[in-house]
Structure 1
Amino acid sequence: MSLDWSFYSWDLIQKYILNGFLFSIELTVIATIGGIFFGTVLALMRLSGKPYLEIPASIYVNTMRSIPLVMVILWFFLLVPFIVGKPIGAELSAKITFIAFEAAFFCEIMRSGIQSIPKGQIYAGQALGMTYSQNMYLVVLPQAFRNMIPVLLTQTIILFQDTSLVYAIGAYDMLKGFEIAGKNFGRPIEAYLAAAFIYFLICFSLSQLVRRLQQKVAIIR
């Protein structure tokens, strides 16, 4: 069985793939920004030394990291309508779910980055009269973010790959676009091969970028 190369055309991309690709990128960006923000909050809670903050954050992070993402996506999509009384849509459900799920993983990255900063700098900030918040905002987090840039970008690449899981709730991502095109044209093999190639091309290119960035960060250190 030979491949039908005429399947690959700009018309195919424009009609079926482009909207899905844009949603995959949008979901990746939103989940990354939201995940880093809430992950930082969770990391600070876990490092606060206060049980009423540390324990809930630890339970949340460990629970999320122990459940497959596709299960979280399905649970949220199916259960939330019963709670709020109406469906919220596959796309919005996917965005909320990804932010909630990725926050747990970004939390551990942020926590490791914060703990990598020498204690002497924290003590120096305290000696200057800085509060805990000022110390974190002005001294610790800027250095931690610089050290964690390669790891954060690597997690973002993984996140982009995971966006394909939204097929479970019918959201129109890039993989869904290829799937529909393959069914409509009767060429599922060509469609999935193209999807695999594009995912590989994007992720491999970004991985090489992260590798170069990691080398530059190492030089700065």
Structure 2
Amino acid sequence: MHSEVITANLDYLLLGSWPQGQLGGMALTLLMGLAAAALASVLGIAAGVGLVMGRPAWRRLLGVACGTLRAIPVVMLIFWCYFLLPVLFGVDVPGTLTVIAALALIGGAFLAQTVQAGIDAAPAGQWQAGLALGFTRWQVLRWLILPPALRMMLPSFVNQWVSLLKDTSLAYVVGVAELTFVAAQVNNREQVYPLEVFAFIALCYLLLCSLLAWAGRRLGRSPQQA
């Protein structure tokens, strides 16, 4: 193993051209993954609640939208966002933002089903007790159903976050200089150390995904366990 290729290109692999140019590499992968995970969580919770609490027409519409998004390959949705968003907004949307938007839509569609299932699994007695206390259905959902349900859903959320982080590697198809893209550039330049370069990339993804899973476990701990 020749580690010199890694040490010689470490700054580029971790930060891309920053600070002289745009941020890239491992740092950009992490930022895109976190942004997509946060947006997907918000969209997933909103859509999941809508699937349970919305009017029948809205529930059907949300169901069709989520089913369609879950059926579309991630790379295809990235292409669609990359070419469609500039047309819709009349501005040149950066590739990084289009990738985040595509990943958030895909992740939100999957998480919506998780949230719907978690809410539906709540005991009927919880709803009845809240309504008997004079709460509205939305208040029962907000104060009695969602907090414990979200805690139970957290492993599914973490799995989706990890999947989104790994899917940032597909951003290379629209020229975003994330970790896989800069690794390919280094490999093409050096040409003789592909094993070392891509083994390092695999280690980076393992580290990032492990940290994300650890953070999810910490977040899911009860106050007594913390």
Classify the TM-score, shorter chain.
0.7 to 0.9
**Which residue in 1 is equivalent to 2:149?**
144
**Which residue in 1 is equivalent to 2:26?**
21
User: Is 1:165 aligned with 2:162?
Assistant: no
Alignment partner of 2:89 out of 84, 93, 98: 84
Alignment partner of 2:71 out of 57, 66, 79: 66
Q: Is the 8 A contact 1:154 1:210 kept in 2?
A: no
One-letter amino acid of the counterpart of residue 191, structure 1: V
What is the alpha-carbon distance in structure 1 between the residues aligned to residue 127 and residue 151 of structure 2?
Answer: 17
Query: Number of matched residues?
Result: 215
One-letter amino acid of the counterpart of residue 51, structure 2: R
- Deviation of 1:28 after TM superposition, in Å, equals 1.5
- Deviation of 1:202 after TM superposition, in Å, equals 3.5
Q: Is the 8 A contact 1:167 1:173 kept in 2?
A: yes
Q: SS at 1:87's partner residue? A: coil
Q: Is the 8 A contact 1:31 1:95 kept in 2?
A: yes
Deviation per CA, 1:73-103, whole angstroms, max 9, x where unpaired? Answer: 0111122333333321101111111112211
Give unmatched runs, 5+ long, in structure 1: none
What is the alpha-carbon distance in structure 1 between the residues aligned to residue 218 and residue 39 of structure 2?
Answer: 26
Kindly report which structure 2 residues correspond to 1:107-118, keeping only aligned pairs within 5 A, or say none.
107-118=112-123
**Which residue in 2 is equivalent to 1:194?**
200
**Which residue in 1 is equivalent to 2:4?**
6
Q: SS at 2:9's partner residue? A: helix
Q: SS at 1:88's partner residue? A: coil
TM-score under structure 1 length normalisation: 0.87
- Deviation of 1:48 after TM superposition, in Å, equals 2.1
- Deviation of 1:71 after TM superposition, in Å, equals 0.6
TM-score under structure 2 length normalisation: 0.85
User: Is 1:174 aligned with 2:183?
Assistant: no
Q: SS at 2:93's partner residue? A: coil
Q: Is the 8 A contact 1:45 1:53 kept in 2?
A: yes
More moved, 83-92 vs 28-37? 83-92
Please state which structure has a larger fraction of its residues in helix. 1
What is the alpha-carbon distance in structure 2 between the residues aligned to residue 158 and residue 140 of structure 1?
Answer: 27
Alignment partner of 1:103 out of 92, 96, 108: 108
Say what the alpha-carbon RMSD is for the aligned residues: 2.4
Deviation per CA, 1:40-73, whole angstroms, max 9, x where unpaired? Answer: 1111111126222101100110000111111100
One-letter amino acid of the counterpart of residue 193, structure 1: A
- Deviation of 1:16 after TM superposition, in Å, equals 3.1
One-letter amino acid of the counterpart of residue 160, structure 1: L
- Deviation of 1:210 after TM superposition, in Å, equals 6.1
Give unmatched runs, 5+ long, in structure 2: 16-23
Taking a change above 3 Å as real, the CA distance of residues 31 and 208 of structure 1, as seen in their structure-2 partners, is closer
